[in-house]
């Protein structure tokens, strides 16, 4: 199925690496102009430099801390719309996943996770929706949730709670905004083979734990960032125009249950 975003403007947060980078690149490959937002200025600059050669006049971006919402969100939306001449899709992807057991968790750590993973998502969505309503435009928002939204994880309870909040935020915004011509959906990645994941496998213990995690995935492998991008582009497109408020898990079947039989 071919999906064209020619003439469309797409804003992607957390776009300089990992899943966000894969999403942004796939939009570019399908004809969109893309406005990248990332906290890391060096990574962002490198990514933009590489892509501007491949996609002339299609790549824009800004360094921003989305924990500083709503002021940052409103400014970013104005910059993105001005740079691309249009703004049709928002992908909320920026997030953090610190590992911390709850007895050791500090309030500042809790706030940092929710400020970015939930508050940042909401105010970016609100700023984009206000832009669309003001100018009589329709649009699509895709939030990146997580398989953790459906499965609690020791050492990542706050992260899981934040992603569960993203799922309910997605449903609520979808209900409020669909009759304004704004669709809101989410994609929940499972275990995805990003650069950050590969870099974390730096000890025998980490490698053994990773192998055990894969054994519990029905598809018996990790996912690829491009597979998350596939789902995002579909939900953002007119092909999904009757899909509203859904959270699509892309996790090799992990949220279906667990595989215990080695003969499968």
168: which residues sit within 8 A by CB, 6+ positions away? none
CA 152 to chain centre: 19
- Residue 164 to residue 149: CA distance in whole angstroms: 4
Please enumerate in sequence order all residues whose Cβ is within 8 A of that of 92, keeping only pairs 6 or more positions apart, or say none: 13, 120, 121, 124, 125, 141, 142, 143, 144, 166
* Strand, helix or coil for residue 61: strand
Q: Among 260, 262, 11, 258, which residue's Cα sits nearest to residue 131?
A: 11
Let me know if 254 is a catalytic residue.
no
User: What is d(CA 111, CA 20) in angstroms, rounded to the nearest whole number?
Assistant: 23
CA 36 to chain CA centroid, nearest Å: 12
Helix (H, G, I), strand (E, B) or coil at 203: coil
Is the sign of the CA dihedral 66, 71, 75, 80 positive or negative? positive
User: From the candidates 60, 121, 131, 159, which is the catalytic residue?
Assistant: 159
Residue of 211, 230, 232 whose CA lies nearest to 222: 211
30: which residues sit within 8 A by CB, 6+ positions away? 3, 4, 5, 6, 233
- Identify the CA nearest to 197 among candidates 17, 47, 12, 42: 17
Active site residue ranges: 159
């Amino acid at each position: 199925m071919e999906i064209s975003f020619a003439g469309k403007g797409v804003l992607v947060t957390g776009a300089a690496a990992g899943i966000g980078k894969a999403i942004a690149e796939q939009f570019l490959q399908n004809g969109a102009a893309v406005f990248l937002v990332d906290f890391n200025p060096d990574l962002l600059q490198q990514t933009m430099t590489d892509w501007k050669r491949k996609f002339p006049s299609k790549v824009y971006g800004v360094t921003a801390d989305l924990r500083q919402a709503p002021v940052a969100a409103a400014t970013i939306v104005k910059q993105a719309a001005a740079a691309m001449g249009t703004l049709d899709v928002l992908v909320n992807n920026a997030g953090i996943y610190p590992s911390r057991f709850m007895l050791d968790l500090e309030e500042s750590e809790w706030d940092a996770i929710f400020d970015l993973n939930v508050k940042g998502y909401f105010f970016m969505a609100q700023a984009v929706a206000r832009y669309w309503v003001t100018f009589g435009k329709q649009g699509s928002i895709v939030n990146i949730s997580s398989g953790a939204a459906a499965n609690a994880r020791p050492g990542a309870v706050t992260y899981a709670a934040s992603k569960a909040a993203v799922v309910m935020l997605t449903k609520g915004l979808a209900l409020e905004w669909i009759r304004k011509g704004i669709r809101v959906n989410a994609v929940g990645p499972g275990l995805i083979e990003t650069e950050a994941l590969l870099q974390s496998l730096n000890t025998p213990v980490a490698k053994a734990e990773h192998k055990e995690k894969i054994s519990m995935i029905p598809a018996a492998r990790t996912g690829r960032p491009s597979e998350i991008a596939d789902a995002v582009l579909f939900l953002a497109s007119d092909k999904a125009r009757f899909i509203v408020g859904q959270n699509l898990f892309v996790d090799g079947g992990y949220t279906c249950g667990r595989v215990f039989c080695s003969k499968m």
